[in-house]
Chains A and B, each alone.
Chain A
Amino acid sequence: MKRLKSLALMLAFTTTLVQIRAQATFPVNDIANPKNGCYAFINAVIVKDAQATLQNATLVIREGKIENAGSNISIPKDAVVVDCKGKYIYPSFIDLFSDYGIATPQRQVSDGFSFVQQITSNTKGAYGWNQSIKSETDGAKIFTGDDAKAKSLREIGFGAVLTHQKDGIARGSGPFVSLATQPDNMVLLKEKAAAFYSFNKGTSAQNYPSSLMGMIALLRQTYLDAQWYKTTPTKEGVNLSLKSWLENQSLPQIFDAGDKWNDIRADKIGDEFGIQYIIKGGGNEYQRIKEIAATKASYILTLNYPLPMDVDDPNDLRMVGLDDLKHWEMAPGNAAAFEKAAVPFCLSAADLTSPADFMPNLRKAIEYGLSAEKALDALTKTPATLLGMYNKIGSLDNGKIANFIITSGPVFEEKTVLLQNWTQGIKYAIKEDGWYDAKGAYKFTASNGKTFSIDLKDAAVASLINKDSLTGKYSFDGKQVKISYTEGKDSAAKETILSGIANGDTWNGTGRDALGNTFTWSATFDHLLKLKTDSAKAKTPVTTGKVFYPFLGMGLEEMPKAENILIKNATVWTSDAAGKLEATDVLIKNGKIAGIGKNLTDASARKIDGTGKHVTAGIIDEHSHIATASVNEGGQSVTSEVRIGDNINPDDINIYRQLSGGVTTSHILHGSANTIGGQTQLIKLRWGANAEDLKFAGADPFIKFALGENVKVARLSQGNTRFPDTRMGVEQVLTDAFQRASDYQKLWKAAEENNKKKAAVPTILRRDLELDALVEIMNKKLFITCHSYVQSEINATMKVAEKFGFPVNTFTHILEGYKVADKMKAHGANASTFSDWWNYKMEVLDAIPFNAYIMQQVGLNVAINSDDAEMARRLNQEAAKSIKYGGMSEEDALKMVTINPAKMLHIDGQTGSLKVGKDADVVLWSDNPLSIYAKAETTIVDGIIYFDRQKDAELHLRNQAEKSRLIQKLASAKKASGAAGDKPGKFQKPTPRFEIMHTCMDHYHSHGLLTIDSEGLEGNN
């Protein structure tokens, strides 16, 4: 019963300790009350860190620091002794991703539909040009403690947090603060503890950057600008944003990426500039843990899992993706996946709907395989180490800040109660009534002569034993006790009620029996009850379904492998000098085309009977917007610095859908929101591969230009303020860009000359990513594909290019190409067009379906492109329209989607036709590929079958089984939750899953019900 002895002491010391330092500038409006805050916690299980647990040990603290911790240590005389028998003491938790005490500014929300142009920064002062680069934000200067929030964080075990202002792409620095309710001066543990970055513009409504790839480019450029700013360039004057950016570089760099692919994108930026970010993840990293591990970054993980869904309506479920169901099941395993892959991580309470979810969700992570040891590390040592502050905080070692929690048992166990949270040596009671465990056997005597032996058990059950055993209830709040019991049964039942106060070992109180007689009573603790030992089930981690690559319904559990394949006896359309070959075999070996001819044999090859079928080279789509996280950086008229390749999205179902139409290579273009758009990315449709592996290795880089209505923002109903607003202006934007690039190139050449000279003062120039790209164009290292419609603009653009000595490699769309085909031929341009689009906007009034044919007849290299995820599945048939419109030969028509686009993309050496030695990008068709009746049966990329009708059917069966399993699991979860499951925040109604569809704007083609055009969305970002 010694446990109860210190009760009075404890209650006496709950008053807050103020100003424990010896001297301070702040006057005291009271009688001085100096204290040393010396406490000794004895008889505790002290978990110094995840690796060292001391039984029956003592912790001594003084003046907010740990003075001593260990077994057999002497207790200072001036220490207040707290008996912690049966209690556990842990270092309190540290959160690296908090906005505690720093409000997040809110952006003025427009109606969500109209797009307001803001060309320049609205930040007043000597700051940088872009409003979303807020490096100057100094979190310490705007921090002020927030009692309510501190309390809610202490209640879940946190003692210190790294906080920052969640606003901007560069968010400046944030302080590391304790959660003590003390003057702000006392809780700032480190003023500038880390610098923060994100892919979110926050309050900036400045147009640039409007896309993810624009944000990446802006960050890259800012790194370069900061380098240059070190030389204090007079042309820049004072730039406080860059100054702070440079100052912040010495801090730990934390990137709020928030998604598995964004994690990797952020890491790549860091790699370029020699920075290893600490990355705040998005909870879906388990879907690509191999790639995540390869970043070598440390991660901050949150525990906000998707809510389970109601599964009582089949029509609602129809609109839910299998991946959403799988993510619900697998998300709690995210941290465990990190542990398994040995990726360092810490845990954060950020993003939770309620802080109260933290512990239950953490326990869930543990059920899913996270070890308790790792969990503790992730909340203490790892975050402290990442901040470079493990010498001050993060374990219970001598000299460290006295931040610790006292719990009733092992900290992550469900029954364990968090009793107290000591922050900087100050006690905060969390749930003190749990400190005293009333359970046990008591001797009870009452003034009415009744005596019992009372057993107080779990679940508020009291057993009163005399001759018979009576059942009753009790409650105990650490001081007050209530007991009630019933004698007799049914109508004869009589209830007696008791209440009292615990005075140490003995409880004293009064009672009232069923007849209204009052009496007094006493109870004395006798002995502990024998605990029913839980049959210690070794908990096996929860089992879940498998990860699919990509994480979509049609994803694969394992990447398919290259096979040797022999297609026998097919009609082979070579798109090459060999022409169309009847009854011919095609042999694929080691990812290449190994043979085309009659009676080929290969024992190692899988044989496919091609009788009655047709084989072509894989289709190449010169103009596509699939598989990209953003498509338009419309923030400025010239954005050659942005790159689609920075934000390839491998989780796009349209990759698979295009494969079903025989497409093997897609050229992913920037949109047409501005004159000089972004750099493009050529990909091969390797379904399941990550962003880097999708890329067509070694291909020449391209960049998207655009002319006409889109770039002059003709669609903006409230008018355009971004230059240019006419085709005249578009021509000048081009001329100006290349003039600047020429001058820039000269400047660099001169600087290089100078810097070669001995004893010269080195010239340091600003590297400009925008102009770098334009210089590459002029040097024919980067090639243009130019969105264009009317003849005037096509002509004018060629003139600008000729003036600066480079060609326009490709005009894409080019619906009036037929009017200037001779000029394009003379210029050396390729043409990539639509078959029969017209009359959907002013600049396509003269579009004719004979365009491709005329251009081909004039001698241009002509391709048919899609610009459309739906049409891309029928590109062969789109090409076939030139047979109808003009009378092109079938073979020539097919070339417009095979070898011709390969030529204009400079990849005809590798793909685009069936020729021995080329990549085995091959399609097996059910019928003449120019026919409406043709279906791609098998699509092969690099000798690997990525699409096959039979395999597709098998995947659907697998998905049906997997979806059913998950729905049953959800139904069981709902059943198990009982009435609680109907409360808000417990289950969610399934919401349809909409896909963002990227197009070139002004699109009137159906993409299905559940799509949202990216247009408009990006304007708001």
Chain B
Amino acid sequence: MKKLLIYTGCMMGLLINLSAQETIYPAPAQKETIVLTNATIHVGNGQVINNGNVIITNGKITEVGTATAVGKIIDCSGKHIYPGLILTSTQLGLVEIPSVRATDDGTEIGEMNPSIRSIVAYNTDSKVINTLRPNGILLASINPDGGLISGSSSVVQLDAWNWEDAAYKTDAAIHFNMPSLLPRPPRTRGAAVPQQAIVDPVKKGLEQIENVKVFFREAKAYQAASTHENINLKMEAVRALFTKKQKLFIHCNIVKEMLLAIDFVKEFGFDVVLVGAVDSWQIADLLKQNNIAVALNQLHSLPTMVDDDVDQPYKTPALLQKAGVLFSINDEDGQTRHRNLPFNAGTACAYGLSKEEALSAITLNAAKILGIDAMTGSVEKGKDANIVVSDGDILDMKSNAISYAFIQGRQVSLDNKQKQLFEKYKYKYGIK
């Protein structure tokens, strides 16, 4: 792939990349064995191997350590090897431009949509995707939004011709948006406007949650029967939840919501992941006891309360780590479009996590939460070769400089529209 890029560059000569990013191709399947040598290998599980090699054959990691092999040797002296970074919860490829309705395929109408599948609308040609690989992000979970049960999310790899190619694990999780149990003040202001009564959201929320439980109870009963006169697509869609082949991602934030989420472990035996969970640090021990994992959506956020520690969101991962909760760090920022995932983890590191723990939160832990840890999430023998090579510490923006990235052993392009515009205007101004 690198050759191809150089070739492309040469062919264009002085007209540097004036063609659009439509020429950035997904990489073809790996043919030749690749050996990354003499690198500092951050395995993703906490381990660091100094001066090690990684051998990639047929899309898999075949050796990690000192062994070498015949093939394409890439000298990674002074560089760092990391597992490809993973976004745990995004609407990548579903929502292109948040403020433009026509580009929003993220939110369906209706309260109960378990049969909605994000994968079928995932747009591999989203311009955002190409900006993620150069920051080390190679995999993402794509989830639908809206209603109570939004549908199923799938994990995609970020270098594909179409959604079928991209699919890494389809329908990995069902998404449940817990109704907010926070009372909100009335929106209208001004003395002349009568104050609207504050509705009790807890009561309303509890009713809605009960409706979701009723659905799952009915689905369980439905699934117990071997034949059906009429197929119920909604109930069919959640079969894998009951066999734990699929997880239930519950989007919620405050303590009471999270406590209610425990019900879904207790009553249905689901594998539950809390997404958002900004106040999870307050009940970390309970989450641990109930085997509930947490996907922290965005560390770079303000504290919940005016009186909270100014940097409470930054400290939350360390508190979860200490309690032994399985958690991942995500970047759902709608303005920078997910690319600051490594730096969100870096911040957690500044506030109590070790560097390797912070790395796990965006690699192996994320893979565990998404149910793809057998395939990826760490630089370990037998796993898919989803690997990034950075010149420096990947978690720090001042040293994050990705020189190579491999998805399933394919060396993927690190080019994107933004780099091309950079080249175009460097050319205009004669900047070297």
Residues of chain A whose beta carbon lies under 8 Å from any beta carbon of chain B: 104-107, 109, 112-113, 166-167, 200-203, 315, 318-319, 321-323, 552-554, 653-654, 656-657, 660, 709, 714-715, 818-819, 821-822, 834, 836-842, 845-846, 848-850, 854, 857-858, 869-871, 873-874, 877, 880-881, 883-886, 890, 893, 927-928, 930-935, 952, 956, 959, 963, 991-995, 1002-1012, 1016-1017, 1020-1021
Contacts and interface: CB of A to CB of B under 8 A. Distances in A.
Given A112-B188, A842-B99, A932 B301 contact: no
B196 to A, nearest CB: 8
B121 interface: no
B418 A932 contact: no
Interface in B391-420: 395-398, 400-401, 418-419
B254 A1009 contact: yes
B192 A315 contact: no
B305 A1011 contact: no
Contact of A932 (B96, B305, B397): B397
B194 A106 contact: yes
A1012 B183 CA distance: 13
B192 A1020 contact: no
B127 interface: yes
Contacts of A1007: 301-302
Interface in B160-215: 182-194, 196, 198
B300 interface: yes
A850 B422 contact: yes
A845 B97 CA distance: 9
A889 B422 CA distance: 18
Contacts of B198: 991
Given A319-B182, A821-B429, A840-B97, A109 B337 contact: no
Contacts of B334: 840, 1004-1005
B128 interface: yes
A201 B190 contact: yes
A197 to B, nearest CB: 14
Given A854-B425, A931-B396, A932-B397, A1006 B333 contact: yes
Given A841-B100, A933-B346, A321 B333 contact: no
Contacts of B191: 104, 166, 200, 202
Given A553-B307, A873-B311, 7 more contacts: A106-B193, A107-B190, A200-B190, A552-B306, A822-B429, A839-B96, A870-B300
Contact of B193 (A107, A822, A841, A1005): A107
B190 A877 contact: no
Contacts of B185: 991, 994, 1012
Contacts of A934: 350
27 contacts: A107-B192, A200-B190, A201-B190, A319-B182, A319-B254, A321-B306, A552-B306, A552-B307, A822-B429, A839-B337, A840-B99, A840-B334, A840-B337, A845-B127, A850-B421, A854-B431, A873-B311, A877-B343, A884-B397, A884-B398, A886-B422, A928-B398, A935-B351, A952-B309, A1004-B333, A1005-B333, A1020-B187
B340 interface: yes
Contacts of A660: 310-311
A109 B395 CA distance: 50
A873 B300 CA distance: 9
Contact of A884 (B336, B401, B431): B401
A315 B254 contact: yes
A627 to B, nearest CB: 14
Contacts of A819: 425
Nearest to B186: A112
B304 A1008 contact: yes
Contact of B192 (A104, A553, A654, A845): A104
A877 B397 contact: yes
B128 to A, nearest CB: 6
B422 A932 contact: no
B306 A995 contact: yes
Contacts of B97: 839-842, 845
Interface residues of B, number: 73
B371 interface: no
B429 to A, nearest CB: 5
B397 A848 contact: no
Nearest to A113: B187
B80 interface: no
Contacts of A1012: 185
Contacts of A1002: 99
A139 B55 CA distance: 88
A365 to B, nearest CB: 23
Contacts of A105: 192
Contact of A854 (B196, B297, B339, B429): B429
B346 A932 contact: yes
Interface of B: 96-100, 127-128, 131, 182-194, 196, 198, 253-256, 278-279, 282, 297-298, 300-307, 309-311, 313, 332-337, 339-340, 343, 346-347, 349-351, 395-398, 400-401, 418-419, 421-422, 425-426, 428-429, 431
A357 B96 CA distance: 56
Contact of B182 (A858, A1006, A1009, A1017): A1009
Contact of A1017 (B187, B193, B335): B187
A113 B313 CA distance: 30
Contact of B190 (A202, A845, A883, A928): A202
Contact of B306 (A166, A653, A834): A653
B425 A1006 contact: no
Given A200-B192, A318-B255, A1009-B253, A836 B340 contact: yes
A822 B198 CA distance: 55
A323 B396 CA distance: 37
A893 B351 CA distance: 23
A657 B347 CA distance: 16
Nearest to A1001: B99
Chain A CB within 10 Å, residue with most, of B98, B349, B422: B422
B302 A715 contact: no
A836 B343 CA distance: 13
Contacts of B184: 992, 994
A933 B429 contact: no
A1021 B302 contact: no
Contact of A837 (B297, B300, B335, B343): B335
**Ranked 3 nearest A-B pairs via Cβ:** A1004-B334, A932-B346, A553-B307
Contact of A315 (B256, B297, B306, B425): B256
Given A201-B190, A715-B99, A1009-B182, A318 B305 contact: yes
B303 A1008 contact: yes
Contacts of B340: 836
B348 to A, nearest CB: 10
Given A845-B97, A883-B397, A1008-B301, A656 B429 contact: no
Contacts of A656: 310
B302 A1008 contact: yes
Chain A CB within 10 Å, residue with most, of B99, B307, B332, B349: B307
A818 B425 contact: yes
A322 B306 CA distance: 9
Contacts of A869: 302
Contacts of B186: 112
A1006 B128 contact: no
Contacts of B398: 880, 883-884, 890, 893, 928, 930-932
A993 B305 contact: yes
A315 B337 contact: no
B189 A1020 contact: yes
A660 B314 CA distance: 13
A1010 B190 contact: no
A134 to B, nearest CB: 12
A367 to B, nearest CB: 28
A1020 B188 contact: yes
Contacts of A107: 190, 192-193
Chain A CB within 10 Å, residue with most, of B196, B400, B425: B425
